[in-house]
Structure 1
Amino acid sequence: MYVILVYDIGEKRVVKMLKLCRQYLNWIQNSVFEGEISLVKLKELLAKAKMIINPETDSILVFKSREERWLEKEVVGLEKNKLDNIL
């Protein structure tokens, strides 16, 4: 599945969350990640994220789609991290 993950968490926990999300998804903008991920890996990511966040003050949003092609993305202004498929 293809997901977009967005988080809003306390400043003290941002670095831990950034490092965690980069293990599973592609960073595209501050606190925003996207990419293909299996259901098992997504559950693993969210389980680890729940150990980092404070559920009373922090939030994580996950937008899911079957495939990237079902999403239309439009960038206005500076694209922070272009996802090039260079090997």
Structure 2
Amino acid sequence: MALNIKPIADRVVVEAAPAETTTAGGIIIPDTAKEKPQQGTIVAVGTGKKDEPMTVKVGDTVLYGKYAGTEITVEGKEYLIMRESDIYAII
């Protein structure tokens, strides 16, 4: 899949993981009660700042803040664009 978005500076584009549809006990979660996922896969990376190279790369699975990033839709798929500093961890 070729994404035609090239983030600038320290920004990354993340494809969010799908939201949980059932609990560990097997209870189905309705759409109105689903929480936004806080995990996703990086699909595009900027070049970094002058003195701060990027530490994440395309394909990394990351954890980020609940309200991090800006939601965008490209070719029918939803992505988040956020600063690298909004990412908490690579898993």
TM-score scaled by length of structure 1: 0.25
| Higher share in helix | 1
TM-score scaled by length of structure 2: 0.24
| Higher share in strand | 2
